[in-house]
């Protein structure tokens, strides 16, 4: 017990004797791996997220020709597995990560080329900017990949890709590779070298079973962690966005995110929640001449321009957006979009992870950048 009698005499913090003892203490802390919070609190517990990742934009005009060059020089096969080229955020040097949790890559398949089957604990999707002719075979179910479609490969599903056409095809891959690596949850297994089902049906089995609007097969009971529907087709996405804007024009309230801004979320039909467990996927449509409000969220995200053009403003920096451009938005970046022509954007984020952990925070900041 501390009493007046046994309390140490007032310390002279400035004395050379005290400074020398303190330096020795910190050396000895270090030697056994002890770190005093009072010297690192600001770095460990900032007042708001201070991501190392920076807002960044990649031009499709740079990405596609480089992916095509790799198509001429690099074969696809067992080991490397995929001709996929990760987009590295300049704020995360040494890691090919778009954000601390999200992998975004351009994958390229030559005519008649095959990528072998494998499975991994990482969740994946493909978003198709342009082209067709590839089927991704998910647990033996061939899924056509066409312009505007979102195709899922939830974790631990076998998958391989085959291009049955005479033209190359490139698309955007999104995976939770950095998240899974950062929390030591990576598992990986090889499957057959050749995709196990070479059929090329217009509709996958998953669409035949789950693809009816609001129609759940009665035989399939219960919630599943990720969507059993492997393909979300552009005709449906486009119609939903068009419908939202038409209804708003007709004066029906509550159809849009904000004026001139329609959006859909790709959902898991067994829960109504996100299609994948670790990544949120959405398509947004901004009417020509409109802007979004500025906002920030503790989720990080990646966006790809599907149609149209405009600008994106991130922490006050304005960049032009054209077909295929990819944007990385780190946590807590102030973000807004401005549409010059009708602007369709695909986006994915890590929001579901933080939502489940009750960590997600979102803030609308005032005004627009129009």
Q: Which residues bind ligand GTQ (CB under 6 A)?
A: 81-82, 84, 105, 107, 120, 124, 159, 173, 175
∠ Cα 155 272 274 (to 5°)? 40
**Shortest Cβ distance from residue 230 to ligand GTQ (Å)?**
13
**Shortest Cβ distance from residue 352 to ligand GTQ (Å)?**
19
**Shortest Cβ distance from residue 300 to ligand GTQ (Å)?**
18
104 versus 345: smaller Cβ distance to ligand GTQ: 104
119 versus 261: smaller Cβ distance to ligand GTQ: 119
**Shortest Cβ distance from residue 77 to ligand GTQ (Å)?**
13
Coil, helix or strand at residue 70: helix
Closest by Cα among 154, 153, 107, 152 to 131: 107
Query: SS3 breakdown of the chain: % helix, strand, coil, rounded to 5?
Result: 20, 30, 50
107 versus 349: smaller Cβ distance to ligand GTQ: 107
**Shortest Cβ distance from residue 177 to ligand GTQ (Å)?**
7
∠ Cα 122 127 132 (to 5°)? 125
CA distance 321 to 57: 9
**Shortest Cβ distance from residue 152 to ligand GTQ (Å)?**
12
138 versus 305: smaller Cβ distance to ligand GTQ: 138
Task: Copy the structure tokens of residue 55.
Answer: 């807002």
Task: Copy the structure tokens of residue 152.
Answer: 């899922």
**DSSP codes, 167-212:** S-EEEEEEE-HHHHHHTT---EEE--SS-S-----SS-HHHHHH-S
195 versus 229: smaller Cβ distance to ligand GTQ: 195
59 versus 82: smaller Cβ distance to ligand GTQ: 82
């Amino acid at each position: 017990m501390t009493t007046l009698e046994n309390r140490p005499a007032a310390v002279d913090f400035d004395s050379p004797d005290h400074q020398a003892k303190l330096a020795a203490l910190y050396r000895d802390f270090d030697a056994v791996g002890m770190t005093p919070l009072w010297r690192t609190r600001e770095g460990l517990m900032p007042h708001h997220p201070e991501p190392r990742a920076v807002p960044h934009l990649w031009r499709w005009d740079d990405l596609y020709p480089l992916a095509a060059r790799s198509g001429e020089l690099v074969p696809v096969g067992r080991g490397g597995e995929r001709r996929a080229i990760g987009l590295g955020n300049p704020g995360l040097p040494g890691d090919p990560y778009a954000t601390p949790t999200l992998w975004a890559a351009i994958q390229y398949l030559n005519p008649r080329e095959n990528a072998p089957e494998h499975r991994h604990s990482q969740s994946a999707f493909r978003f198709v900017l342009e082209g067709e002719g590839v089927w991704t075979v998910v647990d033996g179910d061939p899924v056509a990949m066409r312009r505007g479609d979102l195709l899922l490969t939830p974790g631990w599903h076998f998958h391989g890709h085959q291009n049955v056409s005479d033209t190359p095809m490139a698309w955007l891959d999104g995976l939770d590779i950095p998240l899974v690596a950062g929390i030591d949850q990576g598992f990986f297994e090889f499957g057959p070298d050749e995709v196990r089902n070479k059929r090329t049906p217009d509709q996958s089995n998953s669409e035949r079973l789950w693809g009816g609007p609001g129609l759940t097969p009665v035989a399939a009971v219960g919630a599943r962690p990720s969507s059993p529907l492997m393909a979300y087709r552009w005709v449906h996405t486009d119609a939903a966005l068009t419908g939202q804007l038409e209804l708003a024009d007709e004066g029906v309230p509550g159809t849009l995110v904000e004026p001139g801004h329609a959006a859909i979320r790709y959902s898991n039909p067994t829960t109504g929640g996100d299609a994948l467990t670790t990544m949120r996927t959405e398509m947004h449509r901004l009417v020509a001449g409109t802007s979004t409000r500025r906002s920030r969220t503790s989720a990080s995200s990646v966006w790809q321009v599907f149609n149209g053009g405009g600008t994106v403003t991130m922490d006050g920096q304005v960049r032009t957006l054209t077909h295929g451009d990819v944007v990385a938005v780190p946590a807590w970046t102030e973000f807004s979009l401005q549409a010059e022509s009708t602007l369709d954007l695909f986006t994915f984020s890590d929001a579901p992870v933080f939502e489940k952990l009750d960590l997600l925070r979102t803030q609308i900041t005032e005004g627009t950048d129009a």
